Structure formats: C-alpha cells, structure tokens
Amino acid sequence: MVASAAIGRRIETAPRLPLKGNPDIEILGEALHNIFAADLIEPNHASRGAMATGVLESHGLSGNVAADDVLACTSRFQGCLYETFKPLSIRPEWPVTMVLDNGQRMNGWIDVLVGTEEGWVIIDHKSFPGGKNEWDQKALSYSGQLEAYRRAVMQATERPVISQWIHFSVGGGMVEVIFNQA
C-alpha cells in the first residue's frame, strides 16, 4: 500500500451482481474481465448475449451468474463512464510497461484506460465480493498497483493521469484512490 494514498470519490455503477452458489472469485473475476472488455470494445454487438453466455459457460459459471445480469452491469458501467468522465476514448485491456526504480521491468494490463480532455483515468476491475463498507480498505490495498500504472501511463504518453479507480464489478461501485503529493 502506498503511504500517500487516500480515498476520493465513490460512485455506484450498478446494483450488486446477483450470484448463485459459491463461485470461485478468481475465475469469476477473469470471466467478468473478459465480458467487460469485449462489451467496451463493441457495446452494441448483435451477439453480445451469446458472447457473455459463452464466456460464463467456458469458465464453468453458467449456474452461478446470468449473462443478462452481467451485461446489465456492463451497460450501467459504460453509462457511468460517459456521465462521469466525458471520455474522448475508452481503451480496455491497455498494455503498460515501465522500468521501476530498482531496475525491474513491470508489465501489466490496465483494465480500462479512459482518455479525457484533461488527461487519463485508470480503472481496475476487482471481483471482490465484500460489502460497500469494505470497499475503501480494499481499494487502498491496490494503491501500489494503481500508482505503478499511473507512472507508466504518464511516462509513455506525457499526459497527466487525473484519477485512478477500483471498480468493484460484483458489488456495483467504484472507489477513487488519490495520491497526496508532498
């Protein structure tokens, strides 16, 4: 956790995703990442329902979550992006790389990189199933990852990152993580 990290805004993006049974959260997270990315790339695709159903089936989750429920979440998430950030571009699964201060190379994928007039917005999806009262602490636990992404994006684009968010895809909300500069 980054010592200068703090919680900023909180946004509800959708109702909590209804889950049946006890799905493996790691596998669910992977499936949700895939569906959110595909739906951001082409939100009005004629076969988006079949795509979501296929992803859930291939991950063994068709009995745990309904494709229509996931797609309703992705639609609300996209609406939230447009309403909140007024994006010029939305780039799902954006690759980043940078050399860290210790000489180690960091490679990763930003789940959603939003381009605005003012700069970039970084959003990282998490399938954390905890309640809203746990979101702030969980979001802060990812501050190191967000800080690394922020530095990589600024280094590569020479444009500012104006905000960083953790999107709780199961819980239906986003929490902004801010970095207080000394």
Domain extent listing, the chain = 5-179
Lowest mean pLDDT among 63-67, 76-80, 95-99, 111-115: 95-99
Q: Tell me, what's the pLDDT at 180?
A: 82
How far is it, in rounded angstroms, from Cα 17 to Cα 101? 39
- Mean pLDDT, the chain, rounded, equals 95
Q: Distances from the Cα of 123 to the Cαs of 57, 64, 126, 137, in angstroms?
A: 26, 25, 10, 17
Global pTM reads 0.95
The pLDDT value given to residue 99: 83
Please determine, for residue 182, whether its predicted confidence score (pLDDT) is greater than 70.
no
Q: Please tell me the predicted confidence (pLDDT) of residue 104.
A: 87
Q: What is the pLDDT of residues 100-109, one digit of tens each?
A: 788 888 899 9
CATH number of 5-179: 3.90.320.10
